[in-house]
Amino acid sequence: MKNHHYHIFLFTFFTLFCITHSFDYADALSKSLLYFEAQRSGRLPYNQRVNWRHHSGLTDGLEQGVDLVGGYYDAGDHVKFGLPMAFTITMLSWSAIEYRQELIEAGELRHVMEAIKWGTDYFIKAHTSPNVLWAEVGDGDTDHYCWQRPEDMTTSRRAFKIDEKNPGSDLAGETAAAMAAASIVFRKTNPHYSQLLLHHAHQLFEFGDKYRGEYDGSVGVVKNYYASVSGYMDELLWGAMWLYKATDREHYFDYIISKAHSFGGIGWSITEFSWDVKYAGLQIIASKFLMDAKHKKHADILEQYKSKAEYYICSCLNKNNRSSNVERTPAGLLYVREWNNMQYVSTASFLLTVYSDFLKSENQKLNCQNGIVGHEEILSFAKSQVDYILGSNPLNMSYLVGYGPKFPKRVHHRGASIVSYKENKGFIGCTQGYDNWYGVQEPNPNILVGALVGGPDNEDKFEDQRNNYVQTEACTYNTAPLVGVFAKFLQIGNRSLVQDSDSVLVASL
């Protein structure tokens, strides 16, 4: 009898140990989706859950005679930048495609779809004719002069476009990718909307491919904020890839194959995946095509895509030659660059998780220069990055705002740092925010739940100050890739808890 109690104690202790030593991915997932509601521009819907926000940017596009109300503010300011917004929507859509079942089980698919649709509704408005896409509303220079709530905006809302005379293949390509990916997400639940998105994606891709050029050459005001350093070839390949996934049309697959070399798809070994550089994501999706019999005749090109995908994964895992590995902080966080480093951690976590799933399903291993790696090791490393974000780091700081007991309280974000419009409707002027809110030591009055801030430096150090925008500003494309990853780890956690409890009972008998 005594023995039986001992086994119950063992089981209870083990269960408690599991719970206390793992993160609440369900909470992280639901909080990450609230962040997109905080970033909404336009007329907020009746079911808006982030209630410190109100309508804003209701005259966007008016000066230019076009309705550009809606979309997202990318970060702590109020400019609507097309390229990072489109990448955000592509990544949310990819999460919803890859981890649809996990998101359904978590009860969050509807919120993901709402976040995607808030972006795609805006892109439909911004794509006013086949060869015209509105690229930006507002401009960074005048916007950064003011510190105001979005509801009080007095800065310029001038809109900028790309067209036949002012091309922007990178912006057109990424927006096509976002709409094609989103069309897959809505295919079953809203087929009419899915077709509409595909229609726009086809036109945007054709426009970007026919009138080639970098968008920052046409929209000069974006250069200091979202310059297209990688050029437009990666976005054209990326757009074709998502259109192929959405339509199965050979025309798009042929594009990926025929331009693989000349556009750098199989030439570039890249160790970052971001709003600017799409090669790693493209190479990982192309690797999966190798498994389809219908693509066998292009196996040589697809193998080259795969070798570049594996170069990316191996360098994240520290398994390439030392000079080509991604740097890490002393506590093991991937470190690409000083400014907003967490964006590269979240995109890497997503690609590593997706590739681990791919290897597991094909019963394959990864061959790196410094050894063979199984899918478990890849997933385990992705988890280490996600857990670092959630608080498993030297400062015990969650870099996902609002999650856990300790997180950044002075996020560099205009709306969050000033008293809510709902509480005080009194107008706050352009520089009044700097005088009364920006420099104060108190925490922000509004918690920007679900925002992933820029994060610590290369020594794992972090200073929670509003003016430290390199570390405390958050962006939509930081959080977007985590949505799928949180859903995946939540599902693994739920399964392993059941398995662990079973195995402990078996072991104790």
Residues recognised as catalytic: 77, 412, 464, 473
Query: Which residue carries 């750098």 as its tokens?
Result: 264
Q: Name the DSSP letter for residue 439.
A: T
Give the whole-angstrom CA distance, residue 274 versus residue 344: 7
Give the whole-angstrom CA distance, residue 116 versus residue 120: 6
Give the whole-angstrom CA distance, residue 293 versus residue 487: 31
Determine how many CB atoms are found less than 10 A away from the CB of residue 498.
10
In degrees, rounded to 5, the angle at the alpha carbon of residue 291 between the alpha carbons of residues 287 and 293 is 130
Strands in 138-260 per DSSP E: 159-162
Tell me how far CA of residue 403 lies from CA of 58, 133, 464, 493, 500, in angstroms: 32, 37, 15, 18, 26
Give the whole-angstrom CA distance, residue 423 versus residue 51: 10
Q: Three-state SS for 373?
A: strand
Tell me how far CA of residue 212 lies from CA of 126, 164, 172, 230, 231, in angstroms: 19, 9, 10, 14, 10
Helices (H), 317-441: 342-362, 375-390, 414-417, 432-433
Token digits of residue 429: 């002027």
Give the whole-angstrom CA distance, residue 130 versus residue 426: 42
Tell me how far CA of residue 440 lies from CA of 142, 317, 420, 443, in angstroms: 23, 41, 16, 8
Closest CA to 176 of 302, 89, 62: 89
Give the whole-angstrom CA distance, residue 94 versus residue 91: 5
- Concatenating the DSSP letter of every residue in 35-104 gives HHHHTB-BS--TT---TT---B-TTTTGGGTS-----B--SSS--EEHHHHHHHHHHHHHHHHHTHHHHH
Q: Three-state SS for 63?
A: helix
Determine how many CB atoms are found less than 10 A away from the CB of residue 224.
12
Tell me how far CA of residue 74 lies from CA of 84, 123, 161, 320, in angstroms: 7, 14, 18, 34
Give the whole-angstrom CA distance, residue 297 versus residue 71: 42
Give the whole-angstrom CA distance, residue 394 versus residue 484: 26
